[in-house]
Chain A
């Protein structure tokens, strides 16, 4: 079965700094990949998704992710962090009707 590993359960950056959240996946077939964000006491909101159309995927709120098959990675980046980006981020891999989530990375943004 497919799986996702998110490296780093907590990431802290300064406001205005680069955000890099790491995600590696495992799948025996070409996967669909997603990044979701969860704010406190809310459900998950889709940031972006990869469905094989383009390796560099742009999402909402200035986030983007690059699919690298050779590295089985789908890291999430944002050039300049904003205080409102503080949240928990989940990477997910989907095959057919089975979506698996990573453990999540909590992003803290320092002023």
Chain B
């Protein structure tokens, strides 16, 4: 079974631009979560989608948004990029959102904002 895939793997953007990251979960997984990982803040939860509905959201500004499609693929968008948005963005999928199911992580998208 193919793992979680994220595209692109690397991205360089300038301040003020917007960016869209894509995540394809493991086949059959309906829950997709997004995380931001930085050296200073560690792993921070962005949001979680289940069956196209946002079920949970972390403490990030409205510039960060996401969506999930009917095939469970998910995208996240960051508008008006800031230097502090430079990070590794990780996507994780799970069978469902009950909490007992482990999350499977993709390799991440490394975003650099200049």
Contact = CB atoms under 8 A, between A and B. Distances in A.
Interface of A: 32, 34, 36, 41-46, 49, 51, 90, 94-104
Nearest to A31: B99
B102 A34 contact: yes
Given A42-B107, A43-B4, A44-B90, A97 B98 contact: yes
Contacts of B74: none
B43 interface: yes
Sorted nearest first, the 5 A-B pairs with minimum C-beta distance are: A97-B97, A43-B105, A101-B43, A44-B105, A94-B99
Contacts of A51: 100
A41, A97, A101, most chain B CB atoms within 10 A: A97
Contacts of B43: 90, 101, 104
Given A102-B42, A103-B42, 14 more contacts: A42-B107, A44-B90, A44-B92, A44-B105, A49-B102, A51-B100, A94-B99, A97-B31, A97-B48, A97-B50, A98-B56, A99-B45, A101-B45, A104-B42
Contacts of A94: 99-100
Interface in B83-114: 90, 92, 97-100, 102-108
B33 interface: yes
A99 B33 contact: yes
29 contacts: A32-B99, A32-B100, A36-B105, A42-B108, A43-B4, A43-B90, A43-B92, A43-B106, A43-B107, A43-B108, A44-B92, A45-B105, A46-B102, A51-B100, A90-B43, A94-B99, A94-B100, A96-B98, A97-B31, A97-B50, A97-B55, A97-B98, A98-B56, A99-B45, A99-B99, A101-B35, A101-B42, A102-B42, A103-B42
A42, A45, A90, most chain B CB atoms within 10 A: A42
Contacts of B50: 97
Contacts, number: 56
Contacts of B107: 41-43
Contact of A95 (B33, B35, B90, B99): B99
B99 A98 contact: yes
